Amino acid sequence: LRDKAPAIRREAATSLGKLQYAAASAPILQSLRSPTDRTEEHALIFALIEINEPTQLFDALQSPTAAVQRGALWALDQMEKKTLTVNQVAPLLASESPQVREAAMRVFLRHTEWTGNVGQLLEQWLQGESPGDADNNLIAGFVTAFAGTDSVARVVGQHLTMDSPQTAVRLLESLGNADRIPLHESWSEPLNAWLHSDDTQVLATTLRAVASIQTDHFDKLLVGLVANATKSAAIRLAAVEAIMRHSPRPNAITFEFLIRLLAEDASPQERTTSARILSNASLTSEQLRKLTDNLPFAGPLELQLLIQPYRRDVDKATSVAFLDALVDARSFSALAESDVSDVIKRYSQELLPRGNQLLEKLRQLNEEKRAQLDDLIPAIRSGVPARGKAVFFAEKNKCSTCHRVGDQGGQIGPDLTAIGRIRNERDLLESIVFPSASLAREFEPYTVLFNDGRLMSGIVVHETDDVLHIQQAEGKPQVIARADIESVVPTTISIMPQGLDKPISKQDLADLVAYLRSLNQ
């Protein structure tokens, strides 16, 4: 199962399944952390089904790795021993992973004995005395999946009142994980009350719930929160997101607030979140010109996001302001060539020479970087994995924000738990310096063109007949209605921006690569 050749690993999994070797369940589950393709994943899951031993798979449903959770769930549902219960599946309906949520929903809907009366089932769980963490997860998963149905929505409305705050907050958290649900008539009054809460945590939870609901009913209240300087930046950003889920053009108050957060004195997280929101916004020409004032000072991740609104047709004055800003941008070298060419290819013949000069400058910078790769290889081999682990998990370097190792880190990018098994030093170094040079399977980026001319780039992490879930470099996946989309096309630009290696010293870079190379379990 740990052989370097995918074909041998697949055959090993197949053989262990045919042997029904129960002790193989643990290493098979471990291999599910990082299968190289769907064929290998299928072989591993089918082996678990044939082994037909559910005990270890129940524990795997709690795994921090989405691929392990999903594989265990499919195997438990398909194996001969039918031991899977509604209480085990329902919590997975609220998983952070869209793939796990989809698998849980498919399993749930296969069991007609579970779906008979979902509202009555939720009421029964809510009436339980002193529910523990397991029960809370079960309720959260159920509400997340079925909040759009009338029977569940009515039960939610009955329990959203301030008379039972603990239950109400649990339900608000669940609504915040739902996707584009309609506003039920019984929710308006209690949500309005919770939006006036003085408790920052409760207010943040309520804002996430409102952002998941398709309505402009609360916009006046939300704009008031954005304008309220006594509220934290996090609360005001959450209010902005709730508004712009259904209204992508920011008003003057919202735009000025987002621009202020791009300043140096804002926290890195605030700057990045503001940049992401602006990247998805439908900005006026005046707003675009004002935004160019901030491009010279943006970091690598923010700059990649902030140039996105300029990829649509803009007037000459805005185009000139954009070119002037990029000339002085401190993170200019972090941009991919196609990032810039996607903007300037829309320019008039008069401005194309200036745009092409910028592109040529970027090509030269990238060639210099590529030449430096060979010089860095000897230094990389002197790296110390233990120090590299500290570099990986350091907040300032952003590695663990998107990538997971074992049970630590984010899940935006590929799981790196066994990356050393399939990548050598040069591959790893190149993927850090030039992240678009090689894109991991199932993490290929796409560009979405909206009917109103906006563009959004990211990974399609989940899709249904009605919506796409697009994961950008920061934040939760954006849920987009297919009715709002003109086209979806593949792109070659990774959502991981170039330039994240710039603040890292050569020694830290060597240690980081050494750490990644050591991950071969």
- What's the pLDDT at 425? 83
Q: Give burial (CB, 10 Å; 0-12/13-18/19+) of 374.
A: exposed
Is pLDDT larger for residue 115 or for residue 15?
15
How far from the centroid of its chain's Cα atoms is residue 188's Cα? 29
- The backbone region for 130, taken as left when phi is positive above 0, alpha when psi lies in -120 to 50, beta otherwise, is left
Per-domain boundaries in the chain = 216-274, 381-439+498-518, 445-490
445-490 topology per CATH: SH3 type barrels. (2.30.30)
Lowest mean pLDDT across 73-77, 154-158, 183-187, 379-383: 379-383
The pLDDT of 504-510, averaged and rounded, is 84
- What's the pLDDT at 35? 65
Phi, psi (deg, nearest 5) at residue 364: -65, -40
- Paired residues of 460 in beta bridges: 470
Cα separations in angstroms, 511 against 188, 260, 349: 54, 36, 48
The pLDDT of 115-133, averaged and rounded, is 71
Task: Assess whether pLDDT exceeds 90 at residue 215.
Answer: yes
Q: In sequence order, which residues have a C-beta less than 8 Å from that of residue 28 and are 6 or more positions away?
A: 1, 13, 16, 44, 47, 48, 51
Task: Assess whether pLDDT exceeds 60 at residue 385.
Answer: yes
Six-digit token string for 467: 């919506």
Which pairs with CB-CB distance under 8 Å and at least 24 residues apart come from 242-248? Answer: 242/207, 242/210, 242/211, 242/218, 243/219, 244/277, 244/280, 244/281, 245/211, 245/212, 245/214, 246/214, 246/215, 246/216, 247/216, 247/219, 248/280, 248/281, 248/282, 248/450, 248/452, 248/454
The pLDDT of 119-138, averaged and rounded, is 70
The pLDDT of 423-450, averaged and rounded, is 78
Cα separations in angstroms, 57 against 86, 404, 429: 15, 21, 36
Count of C-beta atoms within a 10 Å radius of residue 194 = 23
The pLDDT of 73-79, averaged and rounded, is 94
- Grade residue 139 by pLDDT with cuts at 50, 70 and 90: confident
Task: Assess whether pLDDT exceeds 60 at residue 130.
Answer: no
Q: In this structure, is the dihedral angle defined by the CA atoms of residues 368, 494, 290 and 239, taken in order, positive or negative?
A: negative
The answer to whether domain 381-439+498-518 and domain 445-490 are alike in fold is: no
* DSSP-based three-state secondary structure for 65: coil
How far from the centroid of its chain's Cα atoms is residue 200's Cα? 24
Six-digit token string for 287: 């707003």
The pLDDT of 67-83, averaged and rounded, is 92
- In CATH, the number for domain 381-439+498-518 is 1.10.760.10
Instruction: Tell me what the pLDDT averaged over the chain comes to.
Output: 86
Lowest mean pLDDT across 5-9, 68-72, 192-196: 5-9
* DSSP-based three-state secondary structure for 469: strand
- What's the pLDDT at 255? 97
Q: Record the pTM.
A: 0.72
Task: Assess whether pLDDT exceeds 80 at residue 238.
Answer: yes
The pLDDT of 483-501, averaged and rounded, is 78
- Grade residue 12 by pLDDT with cuts at 50, 70 and 90: very high
